[in-house]
Chains A and B, each alone.
Chain A
């Protein structure tokens, strides 16, 4: 084998190692196409997009906390809390806009609360994990107290229902919102000075502080964004189901975490972006779809999801070595 050829193969191997998640996505698409002939139909693909958009929006928020060197486990509880508040206030006041405003306010407050606690403790991902574990407990308790543990059914305005159920030229509005949010975030973190500073503060907070970046402010921003995204995800979710349960966010934080880590966002912060979120959320959605298509029990899916997450963090570790 000549040197030129060899280097070509080495480069191909390197490319494959750097883009394992992309290869996994392609493999899953092929597997989906083999399993079901309806897979490539427009309806199925659009249904898939609609279903993954809630998790997609959550994963954007989770990735923002990963980028600033944190970790947010409370977004599932924030999702429950915002969903219950959104439908509950809409029902009692009769105005969908008011319900949405309350949900967004609650999400921002919860995110900012996490961010302030992160500033106080000067924490990294370990601290963030513990703090958001506790705030998640508080958030779930607030959701349960507000609705006394019962599901709430809303009186929905047509325009509000359209967010989760409607289409624009047979493309679901929920997916459009998700993609627009991703584009906005991608522009912020990759194309602005603010975003560069944010990524630097996540990659190495000590040197970022020494060059004059407001590291604590970046943490506050990242966690507040996570709360906001959870609130937006709650709005999309409740507008699709026109109901809210205080348990609707259970496990949603794990789903978002798996999606964004499988997509290739690094656990140690400062590496990743919205392209990885797109890939990760699609991988995760396809895996869930394929597991459902093959009729695997929903409790077995816990094991599969756990194994996937473990594999993804092992790969992340090997890539960093």
Chain B
């Protein structure tokens, strides 16, 4: 009995996701339709990839809310260069650009030791400004044949981009659990001073997680393009507000050193099923935003309360 209880506690997020999925399929006639399932898996992949990158940042005890703007910037550059230089070079350019964004944000956090939240807030503003400036504040649309072809590759109702998300999650899982680099991130997130005394190159590791986050944001931006075919400087404005709950629900803590890629994978799936179910109940869009905000608030307060409850102030 005890073992069952422990198993349920350990797998509560996948179980919750699965049960909501089953309940929705049984009670709502529109939920278990191929169209809706395709939409659900499509919505998972783009933000899911970014959420994996964000997991690296959180594991180190850092914070980066600029991922939405990095997605916008890289997607804009991708869509602008796509017609002239072709798919692969455009993709490489925007992935490198994503890494450069991570290098800049990481520089101020790792070497200047500035608070990560305010640096990433500033960077969010700056990247959005750059994206809006280079596009002249107009959306860049492009029905490139390669993008169309990617969007049409399906395995049953599941689009191919979902498998890309799975691949990213598995690679992240391998890196975080099987390599020395990944284990070092847990040590740094657990206690940064201990990691420093152990002789770890803390500054380099901190810098690297922002680069991983930038790379994942760029990849997520490209994946988003395979179903939107249009980028603008205001793309993914709600990115941080959607992605942070996914990662935290999965079980990666704000304080760092706890969590992992598979937890984030389940968090992403759960939150996307909840968002999808909300739209099934024909809830007004503004009310949906409010519910999302309240969920985020509940998660943050609960997480922080559990972390700090032993302190008086």
Contact = CB atoms under 8 A, between A and B. Distances in A.
Interface string B237-267: 0001100100000000010000000000000
A145 B286 CA distance: 6
A125 interface: yes
Interface of B: 63, 65, 108, 112-115, 117-119, 121-123, 125-126, 128-130, 132-133, 137, 233, 240-241, 244, 254, 284, 286-287, 289-290, 292-294, 296-297, 300-301, 304-305, 308-309, 311-313
A196 interface: no
Interface of A: 71, 73, 117, 120-123, 125-127, 129-131, 133-138, 140-142, 144-145, 149, 205-206, 208-209, 215-216, 254, 257, 267, 297, 299-307, 309-310, 313-314, 317
B108 A310 contact: yes
Given A134-B300, A149-B286, A141 B117 contact: no
A137 B309 CA distance: 26
B241 A117 contact: no
A120 B293 CA distance: 18
B113 A300 contact: no
Contact of B297 (A138, A299, A300): A138
A84 B290 CA distance: 17
Contact of A267 (B118, B126, B289): B118
Main secondary structure of the interface of A (DSSP, over half): helix
Given A133-B240, A310-B108, A317-B114, A299 B300 contact: no
Contact of B115 (A126, A145, A149, A300): A126
Contact of A130 (B112, B132, B254): B254
Contact of A134 (B63, B132, B284, B293): B293
A142 B290 contact: yes
Given A297-B133, A299-B133, A254 B313 contact: no
A299 B241 contact: no
Contact of A303 (B130, B286, B301): B130
B313 A129 contact: no
